């Protein structure tokens, strides 16, 4: 694969969504359906990535208690649910991950 072609295309598909609404500001109103759909994008994409990164380890579904990523993710999920605090969620998730790695080593 041509790395620089990839970067050019990535730069394009990253810049266009950032710029398009700016470019149209003051000229158009987005259809309500589109705005509602965009609303779900972070939840949909990030959750799909979270699921695959935590539970698919080494190409296989890993639902065991020795899956440090999954245990850390559960700790982060509970922290986020209770505190809704980003830094606290990251800190506790990483702490649990570190402890798991120590326990498993």
Partner 1 sequence: MHAPAKQMWLGALETLPLVVAAFPFGIVFGAMAHASGLSFAVSVGMSSLVFAGSSQFIAVTLIASAAILPVIVLTVFVVNLRQMLYSANLMHHVEHWPQPLRAALAFFLTDETFAAVTDRNNRHPGEPGLRWFYAGSAGFMYCFWQISTVLGYTLGERIPSLADWGLDVAMVVAFIGIVVPSLKRRADWGCAAVAFVSALLTHSWPHQSGLLFSSLLAIAVGLWMSRPESAQEQPDE
Q: How far apart are CA 18 and CA 70, in angstroms?
A: 33
With CB under 8 A as the contact rule, the residue among 26, 64, 102, 105 that binds partner 1 is 26
CB of 82 to partner 1, least distance (A): 10
With CB under 8 A as the contact rule, the residue among 65, 66, 94, 103 that binds partner 1 is 94
Q: Which residues pair with 56 in a beta bridge?
A: 61
Alpha-carbon separation of residue 83 from 46, 89, 93 (angstroms): 20, 8, 13
Which is nearest to 97 in space by CA: 59, 71, 74? Answer: 71
Question: Rule CB under 8 A: is residue 51 a binding residue for partner 1?
Answer: yes
Alpha-carbon separation of residue 50 from 25, 45, 46, 57, 72 (angstroms): 33, 9, 6, 12, 12
CB of 66 to partner 1, least distance (A): 13
Question: Rule CB under 8 A: is residue 66 a binding residue for partner 1?
Answer: no
CB of 43 to partner 1, least distance (A): 5
Contact residues: partner 1, CB under 8 A = 1, 3-11, 13-15, 17-26, 30, 33, 35-56, 59, 61, 68-69, 72-73, 76-77, 79-81, 84-87, 89-90, 92-94, 97, 101
């Amino acid at each position: 694969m041509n790395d620089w072609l990839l970067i050019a295309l990535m730069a394009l598909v990253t810049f266009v969504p950032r710029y398009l609404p700016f470019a149209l500001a003051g000229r158009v109103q987005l259809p309500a359906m589109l705005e509602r759909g965009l609303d779900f994008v972070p939840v949909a994409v990030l959750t799909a990535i979270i699921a695959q990164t935590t539970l698919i380890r080494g190409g296989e579904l890993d639902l065991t208690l020795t899956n440090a990523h999954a245990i850390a993710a559960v700790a982060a999920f509970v922290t986020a649910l209770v505190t809704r605090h980003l830094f606290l969620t990251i800190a506790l998730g990483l702490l649990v991950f570190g402890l798991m790695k120590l326990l498993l080593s």
